[in-house]
Structure formats: C-alpha cells, structure tokens
Amino acid sequence: MKLDSTRSYKDAAQYYDAFANNSDLGFFQTMAKRIGGPILELACGTGRVLLKLAEQGYEIVGIDATSEMLDIANRKARELGDEITNRITLHQGDIANFDLKRKFPLIIIPSSFKFNLTTEKQLECLESVKRHLDDGGIFILDHYPSALKPVHDEWKQGPSKLSDGTKVSRTLTSHCDYSEQIQRFTAAYEIEFLNGVKDAFVTSNAQSLIFERER
C-alpha cells in the first residue's frame, strides 16, 4: 500500500483546528517580531500559525499540499477582513519542490517536516528552503523526537465542541516501523451534530520518524 501523508488532512480538514496544539504560537510570534517579514510557512494547513502572524502585520506566504486545508485557511482569512487577507498569499503544492521566484528573511515549518516521508524528499525540501532563504535569513524547523514514540499506541481526544455546536471526538492508533522510519496512524472520528444526528468515519496517515542523530 502506498504511503500517504495527506489523506487524513483531506478527509478531516474541517476538524483539524478542534485538536490542534497551539502551544508554539507564542514562539513563532516572537521570532517574527525579532526577524521581520515577509515570511514563508511550509505546510501551513488551515492557517493556524500563518493567520496569527498576518494579524501581527506581517506579509506571509503559505504552501500546503491539500486544497481542503487551504480552503479553510482562506475562509478564516476572509472572516478576519481585507486588511489581513491582503497580507496572505496561499499556494497549493509540494513543500519539497516549489519555486516562488523570491526570497524570505524567515522561513518556518511548524512540526510538519515529518510529512516528507523519505530521506530524498527531506533533502529536496531543505534544498527548496535554501533557494528561498535570504542571505543571513533564519529557517525554523520544528519536529518531534521520534525516539520517544512507542511501537504501538492508542489514545482518545475530545470531545471538542465546534463553533456551530458540533461535538467531535477521535481515537488515534499508531504503529512505528523503526526499520523503515515510518509511523502509521489510523484516526476514528465520532461526530455529534447539534440536531442530535451522529456520524463516524475512519481515515489514516503516515509520517516519517526522524532521530536525534539526523538533526
């Protein structure tokens, strides 16, 4: 079976923000203030980080592989008004292979470098970053230490309540293949709408395992 690092983000884009960990926002806001813009964010998703930086006044460009996530980012930007929207440019594309024909003093990848599933893709991504980074610019690459992950794991998240009253829970199951340096996820979603109607679906995802010696 072909590995896919985007499937769950296509299938469950509308529920991504309900489970997002925003503990890193302050760090990226501080770094943006220190370095300035324009800023390039790779794997920007629904705009979790991107929109906060745009609200700070920075021009920011985002790239993401999934149209479903970008659609949500666009909607959220429009809800913030034209002043914010005009600072944002979004592109659908591969973060390992892109050419924007411009450079940036700050490029960030908040926790999504792991979706480059092979060493080749990871190196291509870093080469693309290098081509787009100003001389003396800063590249911030954030990822989780893979050595801390158990071989098998299962945990539940939620319920989280959306703005329309919908309640969403999910059960995540993961398996780590350390020989292939791949972590596979299954996510089982349970949704209860405000009118009492319930729904459920299962999706999956894969990400690379990057060890301390590779950093």
Q: Mind listing the pLDDT tens digit for each residue in 159-187? A: 999 988 999 999 999 998 888 888 899 99
User: What count of Cα atoms within 13 Å lies in the side-chain half-sphere of residue 205?
Assistant: 21
Distance CA 18, CA 185 (A): 18
Contact between residue 8 and residue 203 where contact means Cβ atoms under 8 Å apart = yes
**Which residues touch 38 (CB under 8 Å, ≥6 apart)?**
58, 59, 60, 61, 104, 105, 106
pLDDT value at position 117?
86
- Asked, as a colleague might, if the bond just before 105 is cis with ω within 30 of 0, I would say no
Q: For the chain, which residues score pLDDT lower than 70?
A: 1, 144-150, 211-215
Q: Mind listing the pLDDT tens digit for each residue in 95-128? A: 999 999 999 999 999 988 888 888 899 999 999 9
Entry field: residues in the chain: 215
User: The whole model's pTM is what?
Assistant: 0.89
> CA 100, 104, 108 angle in degrees (round to 5)?
95
Domains, the chain: 7-142 (3.40.50.150), 146-209 (2.20.25.110)
Joined together, the tokens standing for residue 24 give 């890193």
- Count of CB atoms within 10 A of residue 86's CB? 11
Q: Which DSSP helix (H) or strand (E) runs through 159?
A: strand 152-161
Joined together, the tokens standing for residue 2 give 């072909």
